[in-house]
Amino acid sequence: MAKILIRNEWQESLSRRSRPVTNPSTLEKIDEVPEGNAEDVDHAVRAAREAQINWKMVTGLEKADLLHHVARKIREDRREIAKLLTLEAGKPLIESLDCVEWVAACFDYYAEIGRHERGSSLPPVGRHQVNFTIKEPYGVVACIVPFNFPLLLMSWKVAPAIAAGNCVVIKPPEVAPLSTLRLAKSFEDLPPGVINIVTGSGEEAGEALVRHPDVNMIAFTGSNNIGKRIMRLAADHIKKINLELGGIDPLIVFEDADLDVAVPGTAWARFLNAGQVCTSSKRIYVVEKVADEFIHRLVEHTKTLRVGNPIDPETDIGPMISEEQLKRVERQVAEGIKQGGKLLYGGKRVPGQNGWFYLPTVITDVQPDNLLFTEEVFGPVAAIARVKDAEEAIRLANDSPYGLGASIYTKSLETAMKAMEEIKAGSFWINDPLSDNDAGPFGGMRQSGLGRELGTEGLDAFRETKHVHLDYMMEKKDYWFPYKDRPIH
């Protein structure tokens, strides 16, 4: 049985149950991990709580050295971690290698900005007084991570959380926990208890983490339904929450777009990681003037994409994570076609493949009320609508309760700025969809979440501000009691 990281030591889980981890390319079991329960969670939280007493006092320079050390260790094991990520999650190996590097870079980034500042000086309201703020850690942070980017989205939470002085308990996704456990070797030189991992289901281990009275903050990436449940449970203890939830992100191809760029860029923005990306372009709007040419080119480009064994360096698209996810996408595609969508390519499992492989799919003539535009389709399905002009494209892009990201292709600065100002989205990409920047905040508007990850905002998400008022001369104030001695003006 796989082991669980508690207090930076590899120990058998307190739970005797286990759950298998399946390779989505072959459907074979590749390992098993403990089915963590409330007792395991309590053990991990107590370890984190105890460690945080000292960790919050570690100097910024020492903390920076430790985070840089973590980044170096991750890079040393990059290929082994990446291969395991590909085996359990189905990502093409090249994507997994990129992902591990991004994880290391995130720890390097927060190593630096974590020691940059801890507050600010304020102008006082009286003589011989000093006012300033200090930013303090919350304490113990629960980091609950989804299956689509289990390492990257873990690092976006863990690196700033520990840089801010918190200690963490990670719950990796139940279907893809192995790469997190392997990457945990990079944490072994941190003080015991700073980072803890509990494997298991969301219903048991995840719920126990959210409910635990000694967990001060919950950082979660996942579905809106689970995010809403976390909000309700957190309310019982007024816990701080940071939520990155779903999105049905728009991508607009304006009439002046260079289709030699926009076509492959759109394909990548929709089919990356088999379409299992929160910010993938799930609603594609193409201005009528270029729609025929764009759609033709996109279909032809999609036909060239290689779907298969993700270990093969020539593979572009691997399998989906599970039979459950694949069946959901099959149902959504069937319903979307029933509601008027026109299937141009794909729309079925890959013939002759044993794993959870689904052909990259292109569907046009999608109307605003089509399920393909109103539900988040977490699979490789490009749903396209023709629009009359830029005004209609921007209006329809905003026609959603979500606001995670949005992408556009245009050469016009005026069009780009107008779309940027009017479209509600936490991230807005112009001519380069889905690119992340550790220094740039990431998060959603509307129902796509609360709070931000990455950037200085991502560090502040894990700190709370204390105002300090200091009078360095101890003297009685003339505005104290008794009021009879105070003149009224």
Active-site annotation, residues? 244, 278
* Residue-by-residue DSSP string for 410-452: -S-HHHHHHHHHHS--SEEEESSTT---TTS-B--EETTEES-
Q: CA-to-CA distance for 151 and 77, rounded, in angstroms?
A: 14
β-pair partners for 144: 171, 220
Residues 6+ apart with CB under 8 A from 190: 8, 66, 70, 162
Q: Quick one: which of 331, 424, 337, 339 has its CA closest to 378?
A: 331
Q: Are strands 281-287 and 342-345 parallel, antiparallel or unpaired?
A: unpaired
SS3 content of the chain, % helix, strand, coil (to 5): 40, 20, 40
Q: Where are the alpha helices (DSSP H) in 306-454?
A: 323-338, 371-374, 390-397, 413-422
Helix (H, G, I), strand (E, B) or coil at 287: strand
Helix (H, G, I), strand (E, B) or coil at 28: coil
Q: Please, is 102 exposed, middle or buried when counting C-beta atoms within 10 Å of its C-beta (0-12, 13-18, 19+)? A: middle
Amino acid present at 36: G
Other beta carbons within 10 Å of 288: 13
Q: CA-to-CA distance for 236 and 431, rounded, in angstroms?
A: 44
Is residue 49 within 8 A of residue 141, CB to CB? The reply is no
First to last CA, the chain: 79
Six token digits for residue 237: 């203890």
DSSP at 115: T
Is residue 20 within 8 A of residue 32, CB to CB? The reply is yes
CA 27 to chain centre: 26
β-pair partners for 463: 137
Q: CA-to-CA distance for 349 and 379, rounded, in angstroms?
A: 12
Is residue 275 within 8 A of residue 95, CB to CB? The reply is no
Is residue 319 within 8 A of residue 25, CB to CB? The reply is yes
The DSSP element (H or E) to which 34 belongs, if any, is: strand 29-34
